[in-house]
Amino acid sequence: MKILKIKKEKLKEAVQEAVLALEAGEVVKVPTDTVAGLICDYYNKKAEKEIFRLKKRPEEKILSIFVSSIAEAKKLVPVIERQEKFLARVWPGKVTCVLKKDIGGFRIPNDEFILGLLQKFGGPLLQTSANISGEPAVGGLPSTVVDISGDKLKILREGAVSGTELQKIWDML
């Protein structure tokens, strides 16, 4: 596992270091706009298994996905008009959105390093908090997780963004 400490003045170098590690199939520990996270190439099953091992997390628990754009999310799951309008209002930000059952929630973080990494890497990243499963996350508040796969918005985890605020946005669409 590669652990990155990011300095603002060395952002480009850190992005390049992370890209090389991801391309080599490594899991990378990174800061995000919410809590410290573990990331790997979305398409690398060996790295995905390593995340589960590091976290001591049951494999039936789904990982979330960082994407660089709504268009990138649409390459992985169908996105209907109302979902797309909601995503446009809350991303980039601290909201993870379940768009389809049995697939992890999607998020575009509001973090210069992660956004740069997503652009440079050129593909989606599996991600999860860096804590051992069941223990508190390191850093700030986790993202708020919402399920917008149906007609109603469901708050799955209250976090950095108020569920009430998100419900108001959903209801306006």
In this prediction, the residues of the chain whose per-residue pLDDT falls under 70 are: none
**Joined tokens for residue 81:** 């008009």
Q: pTM of the entire structure? A: 0.95
Residue 8, pLDDT score? 76
Residue 2, pLDDT score? 79
For residue 152, what is the domain's CATH number? 3.90.870.10
**Joined tokens for residue 23:** 């391309």
Residue 10, pLDDT score? 87
Alpha carbon distance 110, 93 (integer Å): 5
Report the interhelical angle of 81-90 vs 163-172 (nearest 10°). Answer: 140
| Domain range enclosing 163 | 2-172
Listed residue (34, 31, 36) closest to 159, CA to CA: 34
Q: What is the CA radius of gyration of the chain?
A: 15
Edge-to-edge order in the sheet of strand 64-66: 2-3, 28-30, 37-41, 125-129, 64-66, 106-107, 95-98, 144-147, 154-157
Per-residue pLDDT tens for 9-31? 788 999 999 999 999 999 999 99
What's the structural domain count of the chain? 1
Residue 105, pLDDT score? 98
Residue 128, pLDDT score? 97
